[in-house]
């Protein structure tokens, strides 16, 4: 380590010690934007990841008063390490006022880590981020990586997004509808809802095979007995991917009533379905045998 770098580390350590003392003594002024900006500038420019983390956690504890300086850094700081750390810190705060800046960074920052950190922060802001995330999913210009991150954020938001999910299932955009299915699966998995489960069950007959496939695959995560008869019907779907998803899910959540249909898939026209059916039957029979010992 060079003497210059050691001196910089010593200054940063002393600054953190000063801040910690002020917070401990309840003397820290959360309205001091100059001080907060210095924390972002000096703390996040430090070459040590552990020190950047300490500043991030401290700013996260300070909360919304730190939002303006963090947003300024995310939007315009020339050092991508500072932008990354600022976006990650906004994840800790979850301030809804950060959404416009985070959206811009998510869509436009040249650094991949800044973009992914920004969408993580968007997810933590909750319901307020849902409409712009749906807009991204419906966009014809956003690439699939961006849409994938937006779909992840929508699923992460989960139950807070519920009021937007059902209407969005009628979107003209397949990307939106697929993301909404994923989000509904996550909500039902975490907080069982008869209404949302019935929406998923209805989607098993959607005219778009991609939707049917996503729903059939999602049923394995929900693990509800109510889905079994509908998955059995999906095993006869005209689309091979839907049949694959349905039989795989039945292997994980099915009961004895599914065995006859699953065995019929051993004669399916597609080899991959026959192989999956064999595996799923084995899984189900093993689970039924284990249940006999309960």
Query: Quick one: pLDDT at residue 7?
Result: 85
Q: pLDDT category, 137, cuts 50, 70, 90? A: very high
DSSP 13: H
Q: What is the mean pLDDT of the chain?
A: 93
What's residue 255's pLDDT?
86
Residue range 205-227: mean pLDDT, rounded:
95
Q: Is the pLDDT of residue 294 over 70?
A: no
Element containing residue 20 per DSSP (H, E): helix 3-24
Specify if 256 maps to a domain.
yes
More confident residue, 288 or 96: 96
Question: At 76, phi and psi to the nearest 5?
Answer: -145, 0
Whether the CB-CB separation of 86 and 66 falls below 8 Å is answered with: no
**Could you tell me the CATH number of the domain that includes residue 240?**
1.25.10.10
Q: Is 165 domain-assigned?
A: no
Percent of the chain with pLDDT over 90: 84
Structure tokens at 238: 């005209």
pLDDT at 292: 59
291 falls in which pLDDT band (50, 70, 90)? low
Is pLDDT above 60 for 172? yes
Local structure of 210: helix, strand or coil: helix
pTM: 0.83
Q: Which residues contact 34 (CB under 8 A, 6 or more apart)?
A: none
Containing structural domain, residue 249: 196-294
Q: Is 110 a member of any domain?
A: no
- 253-284: per-residue pLDDT in tens? 988 899 999 999 999 999 999 999 999 999 88
Does residue 285 belong to any structural domain of this protein?
yes
Q: How many domains is the chain built from?
A: 1
Identify whether 34 is part of a domain.
no
What pLDDT is stored for residue 220 in this prediction?
93
The two tokens of residue 241 are 């991917």
Give domain status of residue 223, yes or no: yes
Residue 258 lies in a domain: yes
* Tens digit of each residue's pLDDT (9 = 90 or more) over 2-11: 988 888 898 9
Reply yes or no on whether the pLDDT at 293 is more than 60.
no
What pLDDT shows up at residue 289?
A: 79
- Report yes or no on 266 lying in a domain: yes
| pLDDT at res. 213 | 97
Cα 64 to the chain's mean position, in Å? Answer: 23
Residue 173 predicted with pLDDT over 90: yes
DSSP at 26: T
């Amino acid at each position: 380590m060079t003497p210059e770098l050691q001196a910089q580390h010593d200054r940063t350590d002393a600054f953190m010690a000063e801040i910690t003392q002020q917070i401990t003594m309840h003397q820290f002024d959360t309205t001091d934007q100059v001080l907060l900006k210095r924390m972002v500038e000096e703390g996040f420019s430090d070459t040590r990841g552990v020190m950047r983390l300490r500043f991030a956690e401290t700013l996260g504890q300070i909360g919304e008063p730190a939002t303006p300086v963090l947003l300024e850094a995310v939007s315009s700081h020339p050092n991508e390490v500072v932008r990354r750390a600022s976006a990650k810190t906004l994840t800790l705060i979850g301030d809804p006022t950060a959404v416009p800046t985070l959206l811009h960074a998510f869509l436009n920052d040249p650094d991949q880590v800044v973009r992914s950190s920004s969408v993580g922060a968007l997810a933590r802001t909750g319901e307020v981020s849902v409409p712009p995330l749906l807009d991204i999913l419906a966009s014809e210009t956003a690439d699939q990586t961006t849409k994938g991150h937006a779909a992840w954020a929508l699923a992460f938001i989960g139950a807070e997004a519920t009021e937007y999910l059902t209407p969005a299932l009628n979107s003209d955009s397949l990307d939106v509808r697929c993301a909404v299915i994923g989000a509904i699966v996550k909500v039902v998995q975490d907080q069982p809802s008869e209404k949302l489960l019935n929406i998923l069950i209805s989607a098993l007959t959607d005219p778009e095979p991609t939707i049917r496939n996503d729903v059939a695959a999602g049923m394995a995560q929900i693990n509800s007995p109510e889905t079994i008869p509908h998955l059995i019907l999906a095993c006869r779907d005209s689309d091979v991917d839907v049949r694959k998803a349905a039989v795989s899910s039945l292997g994980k959540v099915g009961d004895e009533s599914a065995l006859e249909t699953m065995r019929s898939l051993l004669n399916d026209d597609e080899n991959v379905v026959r192989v999956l059916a064999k595996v799923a039957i084995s899984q189900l029979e093993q689970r039924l045998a284990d249940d006999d010992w309960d």
